[in-house]
Amino acid sequence: MSPTAQTNTPPSRRPPARTPAPPRPGVVYQPAHAVLICVAAPALAISTEQGQLTGQGLEGFYHGGRRVLSRCQLRLAGEEPVPLQGRMLGAGRARFIAAARTTADTGPDPAVTVERVRCADGTERITVLSAAEHPVRLPAELRLGTDLAELGAIAVGRSGAELPAAVHGAGLRWSAPTGQAVVTAQPAPDTTWASAGLLRWELELPPGGSRTITLSIGLRKTAGAVAAPQARTPAALPGPPLDAAAAPWPRSQARCDDARVDTLLRTSLDDLHALLLRDPVRPADVHLAAGVPWRCALAPAESLRAARTLLPLGTRLAAGTLRTLARSQLTGPGPDHGRIPGTLRNAGPHVPPSCTGIEATLLFPAVLAEARRWGLADSDIEPLLPAAERCLEWLRGAAKEGGYVPDPVPDGPLRCETQAQAHRAALLGSDLLDAFGRPGGEELREWAQALRQRFREDFWLDDRSGGRPAALRTADGSAMAHLSSTAVELLDTGLTDAGEYAVGLLDKVQTEQLARLLGGPSLDSGWGLRSLSTKEPGHNPFGHRSGAVRSQETATAVAALAAAGYEKEAASLLRGALDAAEVFGYRLPEMYAAEQRTAGSAPLPHPAACRPAAVAAAAAVQLLLALAGIRPDVPAGTVAVRPMSTAPLGAVQFTGLRVAEEPFSVRISRLGMGMVEEAPEGLQLGI
Tell me the C-alpha distance between 38 and 90, whole Å: 8
Three-class SS state of 100:
strand
Name which of 185-194, 222-231, 322-331, 409-418 the model is least confident about. 222-231
The pLDDT of residue 8 is 42
Name which of 399-403, 430-434, 554-558, 643-647 the model is least confident about. 399-403
Whether the pLDDT of residue 233 is over 50: the answer is: no
Three-class SS state of 61:
strand
pTM assigned to the model:
0.91
Name which of 221-225, 479-483, 525-529, 618-622 the model is least confident about. 221-225
Name which of 473-482, 525-534, 652-661 the model is least confident about. 473-482
Q: Give me the mean pLDDT over the 255-266 stretch.
A: 97
CB neighbourhood size of 501 (10 A): 17
- Burial environment of residue 191 by CB neighbours within 10 A (0 to 12, 13 to 18, 19 or more): exposed
DSSP assigned state of 489: G
Whether the pLDDT of residue 167 is over 70: the answer is: yes
Neighbouring residues of 597: CB distance < 8 A, sequence distance ≥ 6 = 525, 526, 527, 576
Tell me the C-alpha distance between 338 and 460, whole Å: 31
Q: Give me the mean pLDDT over the 576-585 stretch.
A: 98
Whether the pLDDT of residue 496 is over 50: the answer is: no
At residue 239 the predicted structure's pLDDT band, cuts being 50, 70 and 90, is: very low
CB neighbourhood size of 438 (10 A): 16
At residue 9 the predicted structure's pLDDT band, cuts being 50, 70 and 90, is: very low
Q: Which of 239, 279, 282 is nearest to 41 (CA)?
A: 279
At residue 609 the predicted structure's pLDDT band, cuts being 50, 70 and 90, is: very high
Q: Give me the mean pLDDT over the 113-130 stretch.
A: 97
Q: Give me the mean pLDDT over the 241-263 stretch.
A: 79
Three-class SS state of 16:
coil
Q: Give me the mean pLDDT over the 270-278 stretch.
A: 95
Question: What are the φ and ψ backbone dihedral angles of 277, each rounded to 5 degrees?
Answer: -125, 150
Neighbouring residues of 97: CB distance < 8 A, sequence distance ≥ 6 = 51, 83, 84, 85, 86, 113, 114, 115
The pLDDT of residue 223 is 54
Summarize pLDDT for 370-393 with one digit per residue, the tens.
999 999 999 999 999 999 999 999
Name which of 282-286, 348-352, 454-458 the model is least confident about. 348-352
| pLDDT above 90 as % of the chain | 80
Helix, strand and coil percent figures for the chain, each rounded to 5: 25, 25, 45
Tell me the C-alpha distance between 21 and 19, whole Å: 6
- Burial environment of residue 107 by CB neighbours within 10 A (0 to 12, 13 to 18, 19 or more): exposed
Q: Chain-centre distance of CA 162, in angstroms?
A: 32
Between 326 and 500, the more confident residue is 326
Inter-helix orientation angle 316-326/300-309, to 10°? 160
- Intra-chain end-to-end CA distance of the chain, in Å: 40
The pLDDT of residue 368 is 98
Q: Give me the mean pLDDT over the 104-127 stretch.
A: 92
Summarize pLDDT for 126-149 with one digit per residue, the tens.
999 999 889 999 999 999 999 999
Summarize pLDDT for 588-602 with one digit per residue, the tens.
999 999 999 999 999
CA distances from 271 to 15, 119, 289 (A): 37, 14, 11
Quote the mean pLDDT of the chain.
90
Q: Chain-centre distance of CA 179, in angstroms?
A: 29
Q: CA torsion sign, 266 to 270 to 275 to 277?
A: positive
Question: What DSSP string describes 492-537?
Answer: ---EETTTEEPPPSS-HHHHHHHHHHHTSTTTB-SSSBBSB-TTST
Q: Give me the mean pLDDT over the 462-486 stretch.
A: 92
